[in-house]
């Protein structure tokens, strides 16, 4: 309803008009008892479809503006005379030409300003999300939209020092720098909210959006999916509509798109939220916008849309939570977080566990830094994608680091003081360090990594400041050489350097960030060729990303193993050693032999097979009896358990090739019992004993994984087998299907009272078992109910602990011990080795 126009009608039609109008209003209220959402009367609002997507009208029921805080737009300036912006502008600065006002000579800053705060409900043009606002224009970009890091940092500092509470940064760089990191940290210390666009290249999130405390905003389509051009990655927080209709230079209006237009939407909603909650800190506003976002893809945070679509209505109408991730007290309730962001949450008390999971983009390290009250420490239990378990303690402000494998990791957080009885708020900052590649240390030419003299493809990283990788390629025969260097992130601007020892060098840096660099040498001669891979000089910080170096050395190769065309000519190979060969004639056969000294799991790998070639591999025993055969066009792998003896392998191909050498390698892992990974382990005897009794099993790859945490399903199955349970209880857990591999054993254990589900009718079969839960299971199996008398046997358990009676009894009877420091660590996750050792002790 356009109230201003209705008032115009009052003036024109006098008393009669008023009577008609009052009757009209009465009919509206009689027919429509619900409250109509607030709406702006600006004529171009119908073109601003993005306002509907983020539900601004419903938010306007609560607040339509905020003139108590200043919002700085660090950009190309703003059209200072635009009639739809001028009333909402305050003094700013021109950092490009300090003697002049921050007038927009590009248009981008004016576009951004209109999204934030074009005057609303003024019957003119468009409506900003804030009808009334205080917008500070800070011109830090040139007329062509370009700008340097120095001016950007200066612009942020100016805004912070001149009273801005929110800074909009619809711009970005691929480069990390300590300078900009310090500027961003300065803003956080001053409690200023930075909101930045992720970028529009379909690549990784740009800086400053990529810094942990900056609210990073991606772009969303009208179909509520991440726009394919919107940059994504671990640093993204939210998405907002990609397409907008907004103010333009010269007092006009236009359609614009990109994450540059999404970021100011988030900044404006943050200002609306701050009008309702003026006492909130910047990090709390960040968390509120995450909490109230409309989840779009995978549940919780994801690397494409962050926490989801900006929802203005929810940000103003939903109650802010101290911990938006609850309930997350168990592994199956774990909430997704990023490996590179700051979040805030809370522990209700010392018994509260907070479970999270994150997806590591590569192998590497994740650092956890807690902002938590002095005197408190956080116990971290981490299980990475390969099942490796790590336990450590984090002190306030000091990073705690865990090694991670590419893929999904789970982390359990809890106050180190389990007996603390009050709520503790904390902020957690995560950061990721990529792995050190296998070719290090090769940062200098004299320490170049020597490559085999053939075509090959290899991957590497820039894991440290100033990292550059040198390789030496020995050329043994004349031929041609083609080298390409590609990267998987725009944060790398690759530079390729090639030089034959003592001769002319070639440096290739023709493309921009993320673009492949290539060099073709049509004629190369015997000698050493040095290849250097680096990032441009300005980007010499560690990068989360990989480069791929592809070398195509085209020369007719010679098979170094010939003659080996018959079994009696077989090349004897050493285990764990690579051998290279050719099938240079259609009837060529390559024979190899190897010896296994004890019962072992043998893996035979045939790789680097040329394109369009299919190779065949045949395995024979010492009597030349065929054991197995396989084939493949890219790679061939054979894995088999073999007793001690001599074995032969025959290789053939469907066509001859003489330009690329295949690689042949035999690995053998001696078996202890049925496992390759328990030899010398402290629990070896117990594992062998229980395996012999059929109480435990390993995995399909002949591993037992003794140091991996044991789950409730695994523990229950082991106890069911060990105690020969046969009777089953009718169970119906919400998260356990009758088709689950452990269903029968869980039903038997439930019948025997060894284990039960949770109050919410779930069982959580994949939840790790704590040491106390492990002891409790065994106690129930042996009908031991515990005792209350006597001293508490461990320093980290008191008489109020739920399992203290069991611990007293089993310690007194000699079933359990503790650690050398007198602790038992009851809430620490139990490993498979600990569980089996306890089982061996408690079963006859």
Backbone angles phi and psi of 402, in degrees to 5? -125, 145
CB hemisphere CA count around 68 (13 angstroms): 13
Q: How many residues belong to the chain?
A: 844
pLDDT per residue as tens digits for the range 66-86: 999 999 999 999 999 999 999
Interatomic CA distance for residues 832 and 812, integer angstroms: 24
Ranges of the chain whose pLDDT falls below 50: 1-36
Write out the two tokens for 224. 């509520």
Look up residue 157 and give its DSSP letter.
Answer: H
668 and 575 Cβ atoms separated by less than 8 Å? yes
End-to-end CA distance of the chain: 83
Kindly report the number of other CB atoms within 10 A of residue 182's CB atom: 11
Interatomic CA distance for residues 566 and 483, integer angstroms: 37
CA distances from residue 348 to 227, 344, 422, 430 in whole angstroms, order as listed: 39, 13, 6, 21
Interatomic CA distance for residues 345 and 376, integer angstroms: 15
706 and 681 Cβ atoms separated by less than 8 Å? yes
What integer pLDDT is reported at residue 26 of this predicted model?
39
DSSP letters, 754-784, are S----TTS---TTSBPBHHHHHHHHHHHTT-
Interatomic CA distance for residues 309 and 542, integer angstroms: 31
Give burial (CB, 10 Å; 0-12/13-18/19+) of 228. exposed
Q: Tokens 């394919």 label which residue?
A: 228
pLDDT per residue as tens digits for the range 6-49: 223 322 333 333 333 333 333 333 333 434 467 889 999 999 99
Write out the two tokens for 454. 């053939």
Interatomic CA distance for residues 779 and 802, integer angstroms: 14
Interatomic CA distance for residues 428 and 344, integer angstroms: 6
401 and 362 Cβ atoms separated by less than 8 Å? no
What integer pLDDT is reported at residue 20 of this predicted model?
33
CA distances from residue 577 to 15, 659, 664, 667, 813 in whole angstroms, order as listed: 101, 22, 8, 8, 53
Name the β-bridge partners of 456: 551
Pairing of strands 527-535, 468-475: antiparallel
- Interacting residues of 800 by C-beta distance below 8 A, sequence separation 6+: 419
Backbone angles phi and psi of 720, in degrees to 5? -60, -40
Enter the pTM of the model: 0.81
Pairing of strands 479-487, 517-524: antiparallel
In three-state secondary structure terms, 97 is coil
Catalytic residue ranges? 75, 108, 260
> How far from the centroid of its chain's Cα atoms is residue 769's Cα?
25
Write out the two tokens for 538. 């300005």
What integer pLDDT is reported at residue 18 of this predicted model?
35
Closest residue by Cα to residue 76 from 147, 23, 157: 147
What integer pLDDT is reported at residue 694 of this predicted model?
87
């Amino acid at each position: 309803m356009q109230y201003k126009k209705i008032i115009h009608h009052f003036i024109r039609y006098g008393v009669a008009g008023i009577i008609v109008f009052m009757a009209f209003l009465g009919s509206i209220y009689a027919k429509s008892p619900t409250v109509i959402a607030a709406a702006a009367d600006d004529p171009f609002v119908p073109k601003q479809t993005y306002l509907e997507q983020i539900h601004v009208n419903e938010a306007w029921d609560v607040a339509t503006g905020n003139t108590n805080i200043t919002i700085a737009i660090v950009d190309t300036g703003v059209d200072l005379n635009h009639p739809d912006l001028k009333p909402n502008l305050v003094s700013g600065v021109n950092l490009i030409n300090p003697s002049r006002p921050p007038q927009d000579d590009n248009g981008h800053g004016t576009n951004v300003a209109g999204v934030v705060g074009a005057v609303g409900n003024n019957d003119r043009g468009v409506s900003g999300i804030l009808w009334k606002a205080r917008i500070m224009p800070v011109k830090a970009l040139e007329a062509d939209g370009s700008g340097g890091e120095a001016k950007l940092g200066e612009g942020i500092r100016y805004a912070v020092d001149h009273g801005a509470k929110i800074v909009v940064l619809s711009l970005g760089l691929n480069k990390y720098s300590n300078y900009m990191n310090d500027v961003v940290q300065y803003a956080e210390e001053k409690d200023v909210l930075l909101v930045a666009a992720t970028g529009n290249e379909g690549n990784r999130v740009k800086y400053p959006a990529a810094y942990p405390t900056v609210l990073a905003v991606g772009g969303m389509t009208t179909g509520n999916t991440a726009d394919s051009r919107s940059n994504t990655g671990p640093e993204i927080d939210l998405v907002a509509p990609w397409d907008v209709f907004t103010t333009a230079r010269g007092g006009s209006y236009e359609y614009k798109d990109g994450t540059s237009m999404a970021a100011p939407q988030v900044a404006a909603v943050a200002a609306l939220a701050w009008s309702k909650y003026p006492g909130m800190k910047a990090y709390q506003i960040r968390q509120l916008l995450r909490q109230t976002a409309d989840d779009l893809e995978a549940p919780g945070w994801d690397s494409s849309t962050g926490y989801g679509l900006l929802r203005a209505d929810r940000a103003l109408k939903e109650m802010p939570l101290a911990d938006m991730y609850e309930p997350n007290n168990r592994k199956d309730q774990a909430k997704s977080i990023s490996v590179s962001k700051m979040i805030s949450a809370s522990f209700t008390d010392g018994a509260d566990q907070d479970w999270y999971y994150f997806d590591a983009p590569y192998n590497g390290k994740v650092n956890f830094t807690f902002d938590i009250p002095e005197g408190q420490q956080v116990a971290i239990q981490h299980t990475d994608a390969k099942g490796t378990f790590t336990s450590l303690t984090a002190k306030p402000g000091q990073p705690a680091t865990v090694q991670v494998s590419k893929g999904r990791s789970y982390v359990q957080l809890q106050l180190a003081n389990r007996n603390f009885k009050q709520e503790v708020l904390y902020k957690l900052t995560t950061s990721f360090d990529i792995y050190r590649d296998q070719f290090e240390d090769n940062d200098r030419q004299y320490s170049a990594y020597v490559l085999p003299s053939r075509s090959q493809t290899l991957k590497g990283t820039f894991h440290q400041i100033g990292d550059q990788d040198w390789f030496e390629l020995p050329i043994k025969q004349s031929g041609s050489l083609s080298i390409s260097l590609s990267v998987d992130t725009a944060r790398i601007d690759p530079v390729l350097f090639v030089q034959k020892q003592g001769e002319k060098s070639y440096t290739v840096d023709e493309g921009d960030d993320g673009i492949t660099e290539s060099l073709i040498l049509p004629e190369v001669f015997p000698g050493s060729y040095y290849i250097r891979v680096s990032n441009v000089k300005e980007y010499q910080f560690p990068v989360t990303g990989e480069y791929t170096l592809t070398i195509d050395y085209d020369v007719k190769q010679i098979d170094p193993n010939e003659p080996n065309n018959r079994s009696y000519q077989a090349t004897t190979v050493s285990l764990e050693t690579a051998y290279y060969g050719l099938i240079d004639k259609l009837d060529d056969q390559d024979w190899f032999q190897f010896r296994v000294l004890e019962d072992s799991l043998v893996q035979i790998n045939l790789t680097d097979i040329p394109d369009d070639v299919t190779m065949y591999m045949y395995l024979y025993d010492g009597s030349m009896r065929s054991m197995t055969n396989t084939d493949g066009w890219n790679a061939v792998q054979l894995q088999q358990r073999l007793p001690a003896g001599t074995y032969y392998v025959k290789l053939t191909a469907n066509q001859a090739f003489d330009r690329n050498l295949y690689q042949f390698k035999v690995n053998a892992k001696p078996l202890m019992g049925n496992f390759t990974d328990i030899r010398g382990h402290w629990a070896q005897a117990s594992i062998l004993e229980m395996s012999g009794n059929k109480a435990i099993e390993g995995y399909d790859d002949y591993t037992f994984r003794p140091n991996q945490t044991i789950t409730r399903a695994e523990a229950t199955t082991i106890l069911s087998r060990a105690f020969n349970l046969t009777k089953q209880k009718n169970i119906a857990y919400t998260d356990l299907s009758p088709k689950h591999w452990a269903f029968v054993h869980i039903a038997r254990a439930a019948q025997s009272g060894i284990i039960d589900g949770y109050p919410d009718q779930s069982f959580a079969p994949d939840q790790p078992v704590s040491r106390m839960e492990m002891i409790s299971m065994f106690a129930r199996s042996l009908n031991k109910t515990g005792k209350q008398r006597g001293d508490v046997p461990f320093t980290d358990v008191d008489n109020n602990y739920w399992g203290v009676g069991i611990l007293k009894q089993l310690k007194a009877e000699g079933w359990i011990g503790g650690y050398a420091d007198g602790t038992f660590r009851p809430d620490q996750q139990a490993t498979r080795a600990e569980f089996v050792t306890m089982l061996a002790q408690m079963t006859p």
